[in-house]
Amino acid sequence: MFKPDSPEQKIAKGEHILETATQLLRDNGLDALSMNKLASACNVAKGTLYLYFKTREEIMAALYLSVFWNWLNALPQDVAGCDTYDNFCRAYCASLERDPLLVPLMCDAQNRIQHNIPIETFVEFKRSQSQGLEKLAQVFAQTLNLDDTQASQTVWAFHVATLGAANFIKPSAFAQNSLPPDTHGLTFGLGFSSMFLNTVTQLKI
């Protein structure tokens, strides 16, 4: 006789699915994750996944929020003691790069995740994002001595800079010694950190 999972078993199985999905992303990148591959890695039927998550994007949304909040909770300590705006920018940038999933998931959240999830998940997702941005603004206000309006505006500017600089994460397909020296700067010098810092350090804070 079929015996349904208990609430505790459902929670544990849902957490196992997310943990497995996270490991697949870390090993193979965002584009490699599919419901078929995840079902195989979890050793469950594909239909079982849909009992917990209705779409791939719903899984990505949960993963993004997990990675985002882990980063956000660590950020106050990362930027503590920054005595200048430039030092704050560098510490913030370093925090973004610590987990290689963070920035790609930020981009995915902006471009794809929110377009194929159930409306109830979308509402929860946006509420969590909003709460995170409010907390982030508090970190900016306290560390940079900004008022609430300035902090909120600066958070959005940093977010836009992050999404823009994310286009420079992937290294060139060419080996450095295969290209003429006069092309090295535009090919290898435009990484995420340099593009992010070049943008945010120009802000008038």
C-alpha to C-alpha distance for 149 and 200, rounded to whole angstroms: 17
Cβ contact 200:96 at 8 Å: no
Residues 89 and 175 both lie in one domain: yes
From residue 112, how far is each of 55, 197, 203 by CA, in Å?
12, 26, 29
CATH classification at residue 95: 1.10.357.10
pLDDT confidence band for 172 (50 / 70 / 90): low
By C-alpha distance, which of 158, 138, 159 is closest to 201?
Answer: 158
What is the token pair recorded at 62?
């949960």
Here the tokens at position 164 are: 């823009």
pLDDT band at 4 (very low <50, low <70, confident <90, very high): very low
Predicted TM-score of the model (pTM): 0.86
Which residues touch 122 (CB under 8 Å, ≥6 apart)?
114
CATH number at residue 31: 1.10.10.60
68 and 20 part of one domain:
no
Do 148 and 78 lie in one domain? The reply is: yes
Q: How do residues 30-87 score in pLDDT, each as one tens digit?
A: 888 999 999 999 988 899 889 899 999 999 999 999 999 999 999 999 999 999 999 9
Q: How far is CA 38 from CA 15, 26, 54, in A?
A: 13, 13, 13
What would the pLDDT profile of 104-121 be if each residue is shown by its tens digit?
999 998 888 878 888 999
Q: Per-residue pLDDT for 161 more than 90?
A: yes
Please give the C-alpha separations between residue 143 and each of 38, 133, 134, 137, in angstroms, as whole numbers: 41, 15, 14, 10
Q: Does 153 reside within a domain? A: yes
> How many helices (H) and strands (E) are present in the chain, helices listed first?
10, 0
Tell me: do 133 and 110 sit in the same domain.
yes
Q: Which residue is associated with the tokens 């090919």?
A: 187
| Contact of 192 with 168, CB cutoff 8 Å | yes
pLDDT over 70 (residue 7) = no
Please indicate, yes or no, if residue 205 is contained in any of the structural domains. no
Q: What is the pLDDT of residues 9-33, one digit of tens each?
A: 556 778 899 999 999 999 998 888 9
- Are residues 65 and 162 located together in one domain of the fold? yes
**Residue span of the structural domain in which 46 resides:** 1-53
For residue 125, pLDDT over 70 is answered with: yes
Q: Into how many domains does the chain fold?
A: 2
